[in-house]
Amino acid sequence: MAKQKLTQNQKRRIHSNNAKALDRHRRQARKDIDWQEDMLGDTQDGVVVTRYSMHADVESTQGEIFRCNLRRTLSSVVVGDQVVWRAGQEQLQGISGVIEAVKPRKNSLARPDYYDGLKVMASNIDRIIIVSAVLPTLSLNIIDRYLVICETANIPAVIVLNKVDLLSDEELANAEAQLKIYQDIGYETLMISAQTGKNMEKLTALLSHGTSIFVGQSGVGKSSLVNQIMPEVNAQIGAVSENSGLGQHTTTSSRLYHLPQGGELIDSPGIREFGLWHLEADQITKGYREFQYFLGTCKFRDCKHLNDPECALREAVEQGKIHPVRFENYHRLILSREENKSQRHFVE
């Protein structure tokens, strides 16, 4: 008899049970070190520079890195977190201390996870650098997804287009025109090449104060840019697959670096699909900053901005005040959010 195909729900349940079993296993493994009071020094301040599945690397105020366990009571510890931690009197199984508490976050960058609900990726960020590239193809839809996240979290965004060394003059002009859509609505944009170093000085100048994070698809060259800025870091990079045209998810955990000219930079792993289904439709609408001026002036209060009569947004598009590509992407985001919502019920 042919094997019956699993439904989405069944697949999700299997994955979820599997993840829970792994988590139990991890917790048991963690229990192996039961830090006793007298084994630990005084509490001190630190910052999380990398979060792994079972532990985290904490940087002390003296700039030393300590691999730490996490108290089981802590619900979320991410790169960028300011923490209170205690060093062990000695190293146990490669672990040098324990994180006791996470200080309140100034802000955080989160994304919905298919199985695990909302996942915080990093915290205390001053600037999000959306890295895109001409290989894999430049996708304005992905840029828009990130921009909605940046607007919702109220974190300034910069759009960087990498690998421009691969473009002919004509393609370069075309890419410039696409980036102009974003400049016109007030976003800073930059065309760069980690390979040739083109415009790298502009990027480093931008990063020289506050904490920035590189986000973007796998393979766009985030870690290559880190290496270009700080060759001594020697971050791992991976080729874009010739078959699929996609990145290989080379970076596996986010990592915070101190830049020589000042400022902090977080390199993050590429994400296959940056979903927006944790947001309400009107949050997505608010995530389009150039729409704000027109919102509330549509004829109908529940205007969907599609074929509704006297839609102020559509009129603005017709009058050249809103770029049609942004308007189209907006409707694609709303639609994909609705499709995801109906297929997936996820716990928040």
Ligand X SMILES: Nc1nc2c(ncn2[C@@H]2O[C@H](COP(=O)(O)OP(=O)(O)OP(=O)(O)O)[C@@H](O)[C@H]2O)c(=O)[nH]1
Q: Which of 193, 211, 212, 254 binds ligand X (CB under 6 A)?
A: 193
Report if residue 313 touches Zn ion, rule: CB under 5 A: yes
CB of 252 to Mg ion, least distance (A): 9
CA atoms within 13 A on the CB side of 188: 12
Q: Maximum Cα–Cα distance for the chain, whole Å?
A: 72
Looking at the DSSP assignment, which residues form a beta bridge with residue 47? Answer: 59, 82
* Contact letters for Zn ion, residues 259-298 (x by CB under 5 A): ---------------------------------------x
Residue 161 C-beta: closest distance to Mg ion, Å:
17
Task: Could you list the beta-strand ranges (E) of 104-154.
Answer: 108-113, 117-123, 127-133
Q: Specify whether the CB–CB gap between 29 and 57 falls below 8 A.
A: no
Q: Least separation, in Å, of the C-beta of 318 and Zn ion? A: 12
Among 145, 163, 278, 337, binds ligand X (CB under 6 A): 163
CB of 254 to Mg ion, least distance (A): 10
Place of tokens 């974190």: 155
Helix axes 324-343, 140-153, angle to 10 degrees: 80
3-state secondary structure of 59: strand
Is 50 near ligand X (CB under 6 A)?
Answer: no
The yes or no reply on residue 165 touching ligand X (CB under 6 A) is yes
Distance, CA of 30 to CA of 57 (rounded, Å): 15
Segment contacting ligand X by CB under 6 A, of 2-10, 157-165, 172-180, 297-305: 157-165
Indicate the DSSP class of residue 79.
B
**Nearest residue (CB) to Zn ion, 49 versus 311:** 311
Contacts of 168 (CB under 8 A, 6+ apart): none
Identify the residue among 50, 123, 124, 162 touching ligand X (CB under 6 A). Answer: 162
Q: Please select the residue that binds ligand X; options are 46, 88, 97, 247, rule is CB under 6 A.
A: 247
Positions touching ligand X (CB under 6 A) are: 162-163, 165-166, 193-195, 218-224, 237-240, 247-251, 269-270
